[in-house]
Structure 1
Amino acid sequence: PENKDKLTKILACHVIGAKAMGADVAAMAKADGGTHKVKTVGGCELSLKADGGKVTVTDENGNVANVTIADVEQSNGVIHVIDKVLLPKM
């Protein structure tokens, strides 16, 4: 219970308020010179990078996660599975 607010912030920093498929992410990154910055629902800033068919996500602390499974469509949006937990600056 004492860490509920921290956990909520961490989870919200993994959510972007847009339905962006992998091809959309790659196009946005390319249009922005290779890296596209986005704000999350939790108020964090993530950097999305597409290079050679691979997409990475970098958090505010410089931690880099690889997208391992893209474009998992759900009723409330689309999920891109990553291989690390991204953390907000606290």
Structure 2
Amino acid sequence: MEHRYISEERPGFDATVDAVIKAAEDYWGSGAMPMRVGIYGPSGEIYREIRAWGMGEYNRLTKRLIEAGFTGSGKAGKYDDLFQHAPQ
């Protein structure tokens, strides 16, 4: 799994995103197809992009994001899913 920052923004929940990535990644990779996930910052712009390799990593990533209080809005543009922080 790979990730990169798209903006200088570092929201308060960024450490949660780090923990989710670490928990969801498969050291050996789990497929050849890249799946892109974008994370919205508080400003409403995508601040971080995560690339999971294959459906295994992608499913673990999206499940853990939801468990961590994020909501997905589905596929848009180059992203297979977009998430925003929505604490309850």
TM-score normalised by L of structure 2: 0.24
Say which structure, 1 or 2, has more relative contact order (CA 8 Å, 6+ apart): 2
TM-score normalised by L of structure 1: 0.24
Q: Which has the higher helix share?
A: 2
Structure possessing the higher radius of gyration over alpha carbons? 1
